[in-house]
Structure 1
């Protein structure tokens, strides 16, 4: 299954606002999915976390939700935004479908480029699609 999260990010003084839109390839099975976002400091400690709502029984779920993290401009080079997508199973069991990381410990060049562009645009939204890494 190919999951492609689109991240529309901007930075305004003191606020970092990622918009997460996730879409899977056509013909996938129906899943109950949700996303978790973690903002980590330079040593990997959690600074903040958010969770999307659950999309029930959708083969191509889309999350158009905005999350706001309090981050000073000087901290943007030292933080990592981890985004994980989960399949919710019965009895509160969950299965990670995939993940990406943007920022200091980006999971790839495209993610790092997206982060750098977001920092440089100063308040304008930057939207890119990323392929999740399998867990």
Structure 2
């Protein structure tokens, strides 16, 4: 399974009045919530509308797609290696909403074609 995190929009830095330094983290979970795999993008510094355009490959068989959950989290990296979650979504078995569930279903039925959607992050 190939996942591309393309871009974000209207990210704010709540602590100080300057654009945030953000990165995305993708975590694949099995049916009982245990982590199978995790990866993250590089940091985009000082960008309220960051463009990531990074692709990640997860080793998942077609028959396993109904039993896994992909967590997509965006973090703001603050000073001294501290981080705060900007927001998150979940796709797959434990989708965080109807749009995410539909995206996952469309992806499963796409036969290898890219399925691209915008998602509104849930607050951390």
SS of the residue corresponding to residue 66 of structure 2 reads helix
Question: Any conservation in 1 of the 2:11–2:86 contact (CA below 8 Å)?
Answer: no
Q: Give the structure, 1 or 2, with the largest relative contact order (CA under 8 Å, sep 6 or more).
A: 1
Is 2:99 the partner of 1:99? no
Going by fraction, where is strand more abundant, 1 or 2?
1
Extract unaligned runs of 5+ from structure 1.
1-15
d(CA) in 1 for partners of 2:11, 2:121 = 16
- Counterpart for residue 17 of structure 1: 2
- Counterpart for residue 60 of structure 1: 49
- Counterpart for residue 23 of structure 2: 34
Structure 1's consecutive aligned runs of 4 or more residues displaced over 2 angstroms after TM superposition are 25-29
SS of the residue corresponding to residue 67 of structure 1 reads strand
TM-superposed CA distance for 1:80, in Å, is 0.2
**Given the superposition, is the C-alpha separation of residues 131 and 75 from structure 1 closer, same or farther in structure 2, using an over 3 Å criterion?**
same
d(CA) in 1 for partners of 2:11, 2:113 = 31
Is 2:89 the partner of 1:115? no
d(CA) in 1 for partners of 2:38, 2:89 = 15
Structure 2 length-normalised TM: 0.92
Matched pairs, number: 120
d(CA) in 2 for partners of 1:33, 1:120 = 32
d(CA) in 1 for partners of 2:49, 2:5 = 14
d(CA) in 1 for partners of 2:109, 2:118 = 18
- Counterpart for residue 36 of structure 2: 47
Question: Any conservation in 1 of the 2:27–2:70 contact (CA below 8 Å)?
Answer: yes
TM-superposed CA distance for 1:22, in Å, is 2.6
